[in-house]
Structure 1
Amino acid sequence: MKHRPAARHGKFWLSLGLRAVLLMAGASMAGPASAAEPPSVTTMVRKSAAPGETLKVTLGGKGLAGDVRLWTSFGPPMPLADTPPDNGKTDGYCTFAVNVPAGTPLGMHALRVISPNGVSTTLPFLIDDLPTVEKKGGNQSLATAQELTIPGGVDGRVDNLSRDYYRFRVAAGQTVSFEVFCRRLGSPMDASLYLYDAKGRILAYSDDAEGLSTDPQFVYTFAKEGDYIVELRDIRYAGGDAFGYHLRIGDFPCVHTALPLAVKRGSTTRVDFAGVSCSDATPAMAAVPADWAEDWFPVSTRRSTGSSSAFATLAVVAADDVLDREPNNHQPQAQQIELGPSISGRFDDRGDIDQFTFSATKGQRYQFAGFTREIGAPSDLTFRVLNSEGKAIASADDNGTSEGTLDVTFPADGTYTLELVDLNKRGGPQYSYRVVPSLYRPGFSLSASTDTVNVPAGGTASLVVTAARRDYPGPIEIEVRGLPQGFRAGAARLGPGINSATVTISATPDAASMSLADVTIIGSARVQETAFEATASLVDALRGRWSGVTQVNPRFAESVVLTVAPARGITLNVDPAEVVFGPSLKATVKVTATRAAGFDGPIKLVTSPEKDGLPANITAELKPIEAGATEAVVTLTANEKAAKGPFSIALSGVHEKDKVVTTAAVPNLGLRLQEAFQLAAVPMATPMLARGSTLKLKVNVTRNPAYAGEVRLVCEKLPAGVTAPEIVLKADQVEAELTLSAAADATVGMASEVILRASSPAEAKISSTIPLPAFSVQ
């Protein structure tokens, strides 16, 4: 999702009643906003707009006064509107003049508020070609229903213990589609939609339309001309400022997904649609440029005689999708495929089974990942892989709101069949699915904790990255890719066995404010001697913020936005940025503080997170930076069980004075835990030791930077009759010459198990070993 620089157009008056609601909402939030607080939005009056529309968008929340602008995914930043007269002067709300370019694709888009204090989190926003009005209020009964002209849409919010009614007129025989966007727009509203005739009799109802994240959707054909009413409410009668909705009523197809669900980059593909009422939806032609940068592509459709649209999102892939082709219900009919391209299909009828036959070789391990509910389809996918005799060799069901993954290792060369079916044997025009086969590879996937990072000028901010490992326990290097000038990321590593790490991003004091940058969080590793990369997903973080929505648009899935926020009262740094030590060793770093005037109290240092913020078997002695002081020393200690490898830790400082608490992050500290001693034996020119003689062997010793003392060298597992005197290297010595002596009766043969141990004379636990080069005793 690219953050582009824009434009001021349009006039639209906000009703006095709604302004009062927003003012009260802002006033009710916990105290006045701090001057350095980034904008936050809890209420948005308009949740949609049409291509080419000029409108005003009013937001409620905090930090919305002053030089604020509206970033959009469909154009450059939008300025404050010139009305109402107090616009931009009240912390609790503001109104923007928004111009939507005529060619803006339909579907899910995004807004953010940006100010000198930072940027808000993402606000989902719908581009919809239905003419849309705002809820006027006072429409909480059948008798006072707000009049609508259809096709049309309504942006509104529902109050607690309330419901909203809308009246419209239809012709006899007219078919009308009804749909509500709530959860898919991040609203906590669990919407229910009722259709009444003029006498208040219920004609149709939808609560949780399958596949649409609990949002309602249905189609109704009216037998008689006349006035009809829809009621919209939360199923629990909950409501409030955040309980917003976008109601759509029109002649659009009721679409769940496109079909196929993926198209090839650099190609033009016919796209049909899956949904409860889209048999007459006009196919779309998806022309994806070869240089298309995103992994998704928007498409839309209308009925052949319709005036309003439905929309969907395609995955963009490197190879053409395989499209399910009936009949393929049984192995003799199974559709022949090659493993590799993804599969798009649909269970056309109740009990429909789709089977795909392919060749595999013994020992190949494949995974088949399913996608339905998280992309808008209602199918509850189950998988089986059958051998040529029809016997199942592997099966899998769903994994919560995702369809799970079937993991199979093929026992022999041969022909196999992938069988797909809905768990409850459901079928119909909306029951689409996508399956992605991939050759199994050890590695990992990543998730990030937030899509928004406000970095204090001259300071540091952080987010958390979590790994789900697949048969790979080793280190993962974390990179923040796409950082603009003025920003840098601290070393971030998931060491062996570590599944979560804090990533820090720092800004220079003069980094540009009021500017947004898209970055991605990338994890890389050498897995089985091959480079492996994964991009952190934001889906789980957004689900948590958007009321547990199942369907997160791929537009939001990976892009983290960062900007500069005002400097804080304290800025912390660490020196050095990386330390090397190891089991049974210690290292020290210095945390330094730059204080603004008045920030002269003690600064408590803690790990981030405070609990489990250090790798196992490592402790940190964290002393505060005393009042008025500018530095403190942190001592890190690894016990003998500490794992070796690259790690990183994050610290933060807490300053409290006059009940004002200020927290500042410290740039990540890199840790490299290594052996106490690196030993290298120089190869012997003639590795033979005769009885009654000696053999010389040179050894180089490199000390761990955390150890500067003497080193004792001892040979272990020598053959009977062979000896080597102990050597102690002084602190400034790095090379030793071992002398192996064979007695006259020494055991003859190859000596291939001799170990050289280097240890600290003062602490035996500080030691390292290597095998000595083999030699023969003759």
Structure 2
Amino acid sequence: MAVLALALAFPAGVAAQSFVEHVSPPVVERGKTTRVTFVGKNLANAFDIWNSLPSGTLRAKPVEAGSERAVFEITAADNAPVGMGGMRVATPDGLSNLHLFLVDDLPVHWGGMNEKEATLAKPAAVWGVLREGASDRYQIEAKAGERVGFEVVANRFGKDADPLVTIRDASGRFIAERDNDAGLYFDCRFEHTFEKAGTYVVEVRDARFKGNEHRHYVLRVGRFAVGRAAVPSAVNPGKNEIALGAAGAPRISLDHSPLALPGPFLASLKRSGDDGSAWVPMTNSEGPVTVANESGEPTPATFPGALCGVLRQPGARHVFDLKFEKGQKLFLCGEAKSLNSPVDLEVALLDKSGKEVRRGSEARGTDEVTLEFVAGAAGEYQLAVRDALREGGDDAVYRLLARNDPFPPQLLAEAEGLAVPRGDHQILPITVTRSPGAKGAIRLRLLGAPRGISLSPSSIPEDEASIVCRLEASPDAPLGLHTLQIMAEPGDLGGQWRSLVRTQPLVDRKLVNIDLIPLALREDQRRLPPSVTDRFALQVTPPSPFQFELPEARLTLVRYQRVPVPIVTTRLKEFDGPITFSAEGGQLAPKEEGRTRVYAEFPPAGQQTPKVSGFIQSLILSNLAKARIKVSAVGTHQGRRVALTRCFDLDLVAGFKVEGEPAKVSALPGETVRARLVVNRVGPLDTPVTIRFNANSGLDLPETLMIGKGQSGVDFQVPVPADTNPRKIGIQGVSTGYVNGYEEEVRGLLLEIDVRKPEAPKKTEAPKNAETKNKK
């Protein structure tokens, strides 16, 4: 069994940040003030709480703060949205990591640690801690025929929790049990109808009997919608009618703001007469919304727009009728998993005769299905939708977004919680993933930023897949906490699309194996509430007592060697403390770890040593790759710790590379090729290089070639057999040399030989006068 180690990744620019292990309670009641304790480290002098909810819906008042514990009174407004959100603790040093929490409209209670049953009056949202080998028990009263909703939130707090709910009657007889529900990760949401009136015991525990003080849960009991997925799951501004759960269930009205930004959101839905709300994922539509009928008959639809449905019956198949003009394009993106649905989407486009003309394919690295089509002629087509597993259910929903032009690019920022000193900046790297057919530059603009906050550069060229922006605060930018978003739009003002730059905050800790290879994030860490992935937490702090820059924007590191990293600092006269440095990114890991591949070391900078040079060292097992390296500088002045982050690109390469000069040569069958291989060594390296050819080329090649020390290349000959068929022959091989005492092997293509087809001999024509004479 592989041994696991825990590694914690902090957001860029906050190397000295505080860290929150858990929030207690993990839920606040709407319209009430709740005393909340944040437990972790480096929480001294905490003065405020950043949250991802709409402005003004959550207010925090500090009560006490120590290094490992900070207490706030948090007031949730009457209109605070019910559902999951994110919080960060603010200290004078900067922002903490992100922690997830719940806003509820059910009465909130502390459950205690109930080895014996505690009485619970419905409706309620009771919170507790999942303890190892223990369970909490709650007594509830139910009437005969009463339907009661139950929900547990634990895994959705981003913790490795697996809650299990068991219901027993007063005698201990088993009544019901619920573990996981699709779309809620390891949490559950369900409804139970009690046959008899009486007292019942609801038990909550971890299904694996695991637990610790950081794994909290909230048990919701009462009358609320228990459907996990909405139909439709795309809405337009104004009034929308939403269905949740079983067929025929009353529809729920949702008034959607005309000012809503593009992208997904959590909608709070509450039926008439309910005790509390349910929250479900939805998105803003860019056109009409069509819901498939469940009779099996085709549903007329138009696009651009959204096509939605629920595959209730096993094997159900929905069909949408679409009309195309000649040359009209269809770009389709289908989703199900992100909607809390268990469906594995299968989508196909059929012509009028029922022949399949295009099938959707799974987008790499996602659960989405994409399809592209251009109509060769005007006519009618059908879009067929099924569950690949042919299952069904009330929550087996799907959504197809259809456009006439390519989908907007997806932009992902590598930082999301930033502490920016007045008169300074922090870096904000952004990567771009363009959909097929998407072209053009991208323009960026800030939304909701206070005065004095700017982003530069504000555009991404068409041929760039990433950019490092600077989020800058002017000398008079307002101090304190702010929330901002970044809107991406076409660089050409004639474009129509809009897309928010998104983030992927690390919730909880990231696991790595014994080889320091990061393991995939858990589902509860990947699928975060939209409000924490479409906005940035910003803390504007007083000016920094120092600045630093990296003079080199790009560095090349030869495997098994080290490369210097120069740093230049400036400081205020009154600041006499050391400035320390650390680096992260790529394959970097602490030098002390057993299987470190690449590590960095930096001396501190002082008043007398404003310019210093660290280094990055490559060890064995390091991989040849390019990476962005972030360097953080930390200094403490007048009790405040300041962290600034800058970055550079690191290219980890082999010390040499052998290639043909020229890279491609040609010959006829039976000819001999005169070729030359040259070695390109990096820097002062002058190692001899031995070349061994692979034996699968079909050519008579030398067993080895040697390019000696001080030599740049070697000439050799390759006879091409006369019976060789015309084709391109790639000559592969292994080049070996020593770098810093270690043997380096570089494998790959060395030379390409194009074996041409011989020209056919020309026919010789007889002279015309001779031909006439012969005829006579």
User: 2: distance between equivalents of 1:236 and 1:651?
Assistant: 39
- Per the alignment, residue 519 of structure 1 pairs with 485
CA distance 1:378–1:464, change in 2 (3 Å): same
- Per the alignment, residue 731 of structure 1 pairs with none
SS of residue matched to 2:229: strand
CA distance 1:320–1:442, change in 2 (3 Å): closer
**Shift of residue 416, structure 1, vs aligned partner:** 1.0
1:548 aligns with 2:523: yes
**Shift of residue 107, structure 1, vs aligned partner:** 2.8
- Per the alignment, residue 213 of structure 1 pairs with 185
- Contact 2:46–2:70 (8 Å) recurs in 1: no
- Per the alignment, residue 584 of structure 1 pairs with none
Tell me which of 359, 363, 367 is aligned to 2:331: 367
CA distance 1:335–1:554, change in 2 (3 Å): same
Give CA-to-partner distance per residue, 1:85-127, whole Å, 9 cap, x none.
Answer: xx41422223222332223343334433333332334443323
Give CA-to-partner distance per residue, 1:358-399, whole Å, 9 cap, x none.
Answer: 122454442221122212223222111111111112223555
**Shift of residue 62, structure 1, vs aligned partner:** 2.8
Tell me which of 438, 451, 458 is aligned to 2:416: 451
- Per the alignment, residue 310 of structure 1 pairs with 278
SS of residue matched to 1:189: coil
Q: Which has the higher contact order (CA 8 A, sep 6+)?
A: 2
Letter in 1 for 2:523: G
CA distance 1:58–1:261, change in 2 (3 Å): same
User: 1: distance between equivalents of 2:642 and 2:416?
Assistant: 23
CA distance 1:309–1:288, change in 2 (3 Å): closer
Instruction: Show structure 2 runs of 5+ residues with no match.
Output: 1-7, 511-520, 555-564, 589-601, 615-625, 650-776
- Per the alignment, residue 461 of structure 1 pairs with 426
- Per the alignment, residue 145 of structure 1 pairs with 117
Give CA-to-partner distance per residue, 1:501-560, whole Å, 9 cap, x none.
Answer: 443323345543323131326375569x96876432225866988843264333233111
User: 2: distance between equivalents of 1:103 and 1:607?
Assistant: 41
**Shift of residue 170, structure 1, vs aligned partner:** 1.6
1:444-593 → structure 2 map (5 Å cutoff): 444-471=409-436, 479=444, 481-482=446-447, 483-491=449-457, 499-508=465-474, 511-520=477-486, 522=488, 525=491, 534-538=499-503, 547-549=522-524, 551-565=527-541, 570-573=546-549, 592-593=568-569
1:406 aligns with 2:382: no
**Shift of residue 219, structure 1, vs aligned partner:** 2.1
1:153-164 → structure 2 map (5 Å cutoff): 153-164=125-136
SS of residue matched to 2:333: strand
1:80 aligns with 2:45: no
For structure 1, which segment, 62-71 or 185-194, has the greater mean C-alpha deviation from structure 2 after superposition?
Answer: 62-71
1:339 aligns with 2:307: no
1:248 aligns with 2:220: yes
Tell me which of 110, 120, 128 is aligned to 2:96: 120
- Per the alignment, residue 67 of structure 2 pairs with 91
1:269 aligns with 2:248: no
User: 1: distance between equivalents of 2:70 and 2:634?
Assistant: 33
- Contact 1:475–1:494 (8 Å) recurs in 2: no
User: 1: distance between equivalents of 2:603 and 2:88?
Assistant: 40
- Contact 1:570–1:664 (8 Å) recurs in 2: no
1:372-383 → structure 2 map (5 Å cutoff): 372-383=336-347
1:49-64 → structure 2 map (5 Å cutoff): 49-64=28-43
SS of residue matched to 1:241: coil
Letter in 2 for 1:416: Y
User: 2: distance between equivalents of 1:39 and 1:661?
Assistant: 11
**Shift of residue 465, structure 1, vs aligned partner:** 2.0
User: 2: distance between equivalents of 1:59 and 1:624?
Assistant: 33
- Per the alignment, residue 106 of structure 1 pairs with 82
Tell me which of 604, 608, 623 is aligned to 1:628: 608
CA distance 1:650–1:510, change in 2 (3 Å): farther
User: 2: distance between equivalents of 1:299 and 1:661?
Assistant: 40
CA distance 1:79–1:51, change in 2 (3 Å): closer
User: 1: distance between equivalents of 2:153 and 2:35?
Assistant: 20
Aligned length: 585
Letter in 1 for 2:415: T
- Per the alignment, residue 321 of structure 1 pairs with 289
Give CA-to-partner distance per residue, 1:279-320, whole Å, 9 cap, x none.
Answer: 54x433222343445756765455665433333354233433
1:648-687 → structure 2 map (5 Å cutoff): 652=631, 664-666=644-646
- Contact 1:124–1:185 (8 Å) recurs in 2: yes
**Shift of residue 571, structure 1, vs aligned partner:** 1.2
**Shift of residue 155, structure 1, vs aligned partner:** 1.4
- Per the alignment, residue 441 of structure 1 pairs with 406
Instruction: Show structure 1 runs of 5+ residues with no match.
Output: 1-28, 82-86, 579-588, 612-621, 635-646, 670-778
1:179 aligns with 2:151: yes
User: 2: distance between equivalents of 1:490 and 1:573?
Assistant: 17
CA distance 1:532–1:337, change in 2 (3 Å): closer
Letter in 2 for 1:433: Y
User: 1: distance between equivalents of 2:216 and 2:49?
Assistant: 19
Give CA-to-partner distance per residue, 1:416-466, whole Å, 9 cap, x none.
Answer: 111011122222322222110122438632222333112244444334322
SS of residue matched to 2:228: strand
**Shift of residue 179, structure 1, vs aligned partner:** 1.1
- Contact 2:485–2:501 (8 Å) recurs in 1: no
- Per the alignment, residue 690 of structure 2 pairs with none
- Contact 2:327–2:376 (8 Å) recurs in 1: yes
1:284 aligns with 2:252: yes
SS of residue matched to 2:138: strand
- Per the alignment, residue 595 of structure 1 pairs with 571
SS of residue matched to 2:44: coil
TM-score computed with the length of structure 2 as normaliser = 0.66
- Contact 2:183–2:337 (8 Å) recurs in 1: yes
- Contact 2:49–2:60 (8 Å) recurs in 1: yes
Letter in 2 for 1:354: H
User: 2: distance between equivalents of 1:465 and 1:251?
Assistant: 44
SS of residue matched to 2:481: coil
User: 1: distance between equivalents of 2:604 and 2:489?
Assistant: 33
CA distance 1:270–1:49, change in 2 (3 Å): same
- Contact 2:489–2:495 (8 Å) recurs in 1: no
User: 1: distance between equivalents of 2:380 and 2:411?
Assistant: 34
- Contact 2:349–2:382 (8 Å) recurs in 1: yes
**Shift of residue 477, structure 1, vs aligned partner:** 5.5
- Contact 1:131–1:151 (8 Å) recurs in 2: yes
Tell me which of 350, 365, 390 is aligned to 1:425: 390
- Contact 1:159–1:240 (8 Å) recurs in 2: yes
CA distance 1:496–1:191, change in 2 (3 Å): same
SS of residue matched to 1:454: strand
CA distance 1:67–1:471, change in 2 (3 Å): closer
What CA RMSD, in Å, does the superposition of the two structures yield over aligned residues? Answer: 4.3
User: 1: distance between equivalents of 2:269 and 2:45?
Assistant: 41
CA distance 1:325–1:443, change in 2 (3 Å): closer
- Contact 2:130–2:216 (8 Å) recurs in 1: yes
